[in-house]
Structure 1
Amino acid sequence: MKKYLLAAAGVVAAAVIAAPSAVGASSEPPTDPTPAPALHPTPVPALHQTATPALHPTPAPAAPAPARIRTVRSGERVDAGQGFTVWLTEDGKHWAGPDGFENFRSVVDGNIDRSQPGVSHQSEGDASGVFHSGLYYGTRTAGRVELTDGEGHKTVATLVALKGHPDWGVWYAHTAPSEDSQAVALYDRGGRLLADLPGFRKP
């Protein structure tokens, strides 16, 4: 009787010992022998930046070249065109029109200040055209005298100076007839404005 019980106990013990092995074996997941496919990242398209063209500023227009100043002797007559004559003396500017009538503007009577740049203007004419003339003074670097009409049209004057007197001279020009007054500007040889007389438009 004892021998049977011991044998039965051995069977039970063997069953208890074997049970954990069976449980442990069933908890492992089955191994899949097929390898997982490799992951290939989706390529990102390259960003192409468009170059912005460089901005090149438009250069400012160059100033007109300075006028050549004609140097004359005292009393030397200059043909100013269309029947007009101009001459210079120590005391100022002289001119005459087709009618022969002589005119004069002094540079020594105190009416102009030769210590600073300035310009004067006289004009006469008819339906065929207008003769403009005047003095420029107070500078040894006169470059040009320019007339501008009411519509913006410009006329560059001719310059005449008396030998030995570089700080003043005479200018003259011809324009078409107009009811508007011409503006007059004096520039130095570098194109800098030295003095001006405003024009006006007839209402």
Structure 2
Amino acid sequence: MKRHRKFPRPSAESEPLREVFAEAAYDVTPSAVPLAAIERAGRQRRRRRTAVAAGSACALLVVPLAVVALREAVSPETGDGRVTSPSGLPMATVRVVTAGERVEVAHGIKIWLTEDGAHWSSPADSGPLFSSVKEGADEPGVTVQQEGAGDWGYFLSGVYRGKREAARVEIETTEGQVAGTALTLAGGPHWGVWYAMVSAPKPVAPGRPVDVTRRVTVYDSAGGVTASTGAGL
């Protein structure tokens, strides 16, 4: 059987002391709860959490956009084989080749360079064509060859010789401005071949002479003109 512990009754001497403690407790006024401060702190914490979440979302959004921009810059080839910048404008290409290396530049048209000049061959020609760079070697300039290329439009090409190494080629045509590609030999001889394929309003018979080129300009890496049509060659 569980026994209940009995506590002694308070003595008569302790009763006045209890009354004193009770009166002191009633006189104590508890401080007011700082509800306004608590609400302000809560709002600040919510704002900080919202800002962090928004910043994270922005960062996640910016990363894919940066990747897209990077992919456009690194892989700018269009469906027709031309190279464009992220803005959509054509970009020139300079390719260094070895002497005698045959490069198919467009639909059966091949170009190769030797120490004395440039050579062309195409299905429309009976034999390779040759353009020497030995004559007038000290004079910068650009030559122009232009012919039809069937459904592909116009094929434009020529030899350039400049004061400095080529970095890009621009061609003004009746169909607008296009970028050319340059072939040059190793060692920076300051000369080479430029070429470009230009769309035509309708097919032009392969090898048929045309007159669509208005100006060819070869620029160096600093943006200066190193050769252009209308001089030398």
Q: TM-score, normalised by structure 1?
A: 0.56
Kindly tell me: are residues 79 and 127 of structure 1, through their superposed partners in 2, closer, same or farther at Cα, counting changes over 3 Å? closer
One of 212, 216, 221 as aligned partner of 1:181: 212
One of 137, 162, 175 as aligned partner of 1:138: 162
Q: CA deviation at 1:134?
A: 0.9
Q: CA deviation at 1:120?
A: 1.1
**Equivalent residues in 2 for 1:22-171, closer than 5 Å:** 67-99=92-124, 101-108=127-134, 110=135, 113-128=136-151, 129-150=153-174, 153-171=176-194
Q: CA deviation at 1:192?
A: 2.2
Identity across matched positions, percent: 41
Q: CA deviation at 1:159?
A: 0.9
Whether the aligned pair in 2 keeps the contact of 1:146 and 1:154 (CA below 8 Å) is: yes
Structure 1 Cα separation of the partners of residues 149 and 95 of structure 2: 27
Structure 1: segments with no counterpart, 5+ residues: 1-63, 199-203
Q: Does 1:193 align with 2:225?
A: yes
> Structure 1: which 4+ aligned runs deviate by more than 4 Å?
none
Structure 2: segments with no counterpart, 5+ residues: 1-88, 202-209
Kindly tell me: are residues 169 and 197 of structure 1, through their superposed partners in 2, closer, same or farther at Cα, counting changes over 3 Å? same
Whether the aligned pair in 2 keeps the contact of 1:118 and 1:186 (CA below 8 Å) is: no
- Amino acid in structure 2 at the alignment position of 1:106: S
Report Cα offsets for 1:76-111 as digits up to 9, x if no partner.
Answer: 100102111000011100011124631110011x2x
Structure (1 or 2) with the larger CA radius of gyration: 1
Report Cα offsets for 1:184-203 as digits up to 9, x if no partner.
Answer: 112222222333327xxxxx
Kindly tell me: are residues 189 and 80 of structure 1, through their superposed partners in 2, closer, same or farther at Cα, counting changes over 3 Å? same
Give the number of the structure whose residues are more often strand, by fraction: 1
Structure 1 Cα separation of the partners of residues 143 and 92 of structure 2: 18
Find the residue that maps to 1:80 and give its secondary structure: strand
Q: CA deviation at 1:122?
A: 0.9
Q: CA deviation at 1:158?
A: 0.9
- Give the RMSD, CA atoms, in angstroms: 2.6
Kindly tell me: are residues 185 and 93 of structure 1, through their superposed partners in 2, closer, same or farther at Cα, counting changes over 3 Å? same
Whether the aligned pair in 2 keeps the contact of 1:126 and 1:177 (CA below 8 Å) is: no
- Amino acid in structure 1 at the alignment position of 2:218: L
